[in-house]
Amino acid sequence: MKFITNALSLDSLFLKKVRTDEDQFSNVYTQHHKLVRSVIYQISGESHLNDLVQESFIKIWKHINQFKHESHLSSWIYRISVNVALDHLRTHKRKSEVYSHNFDTIIDEKTNIEKTLSDKDLVERALSQLSDEHRIVIILYFIHDLKISEIADIVEANEGTIKSRIHYAKEHLKQFLSELSQNDSQKHGG
């Protein structure tokens, strides 16, 4: 009789898992898909975005048992998304495909004339000119407002390295933003 009771309780545990799998996955997806999509877009650009988002969620779900509650779930999800985006960049760089949002010219759809860069275009262009390492720390530190310790955890580097990367990345970014802004105002006679 004891055996039957044990078997039933094990079975109900199993059922509970089956029943809640999809609900749990839906929760993880609805809560984090914006974060995953935006961070992948900001790191690796538009091409293959949907595939990379899917790949990230598949990895998240397959390895969710390995998630240690020492860190936040969102930090762990950041780490997976950043790694997926970086892997994609590495693979495509070998094929001479560089991160690019096709920024050569921005044409106004109505007038068909090259238009002034908006601040959004400016940021996107400046980010695309940074190295992968610098772009990642700028995105995580300035845009996603993560702490240095969290970034260190995500990119698996020590905090000193991250501080140094942020410092140099910030200088480069400021320089690119200034240059792009100046060039644009000169082009349009501003």
**Which positions lie near other proteins, rule CB under 8 A?**
3-4, 7-8, 11-12, 14-15, 18-19, 21-23, 25-26, 29-30, 33-34, 37-38, 41-42, 46, 49-50, 53-54, 57-58, 61-62, 101, 118-120, 122-124, 127, 138, 142-143, 145, 170, 173-175, 177-178, 181
Q: Which is nearer to other proteins, 50 or 91 (CB)?
A: 50
Q: Which is nearer to other proteins, 62 or 68 (CB)?
A: 62
Output the smallest distance, CB 9 to other proteins, in A: 10
d(CA 82, CA 56): 9
d(CA 135, CA 127): 6
d(CA 126, CA 67): 34
Q: Which is nearer to other proteins, 155 or 169 (CB)?
A: 169
Q: Which is nearer to other proteins, 33 or 94 (CB)?
A: 33
- Which residue type is seen at 22? E
Output the smallest distance, CB 70 to other proteins, in A: 26
User: CA-CA-CA-CA torsion for 168, 172, 178, 179, nearest 10 degrees?
Assistant: 160
d(CA 127, CA 122): 9
Output the smallest distance, CB 35 to other proteins, in A: 10
d(CA 190, CA 142): 29
- Which residue type is seen at 82? V
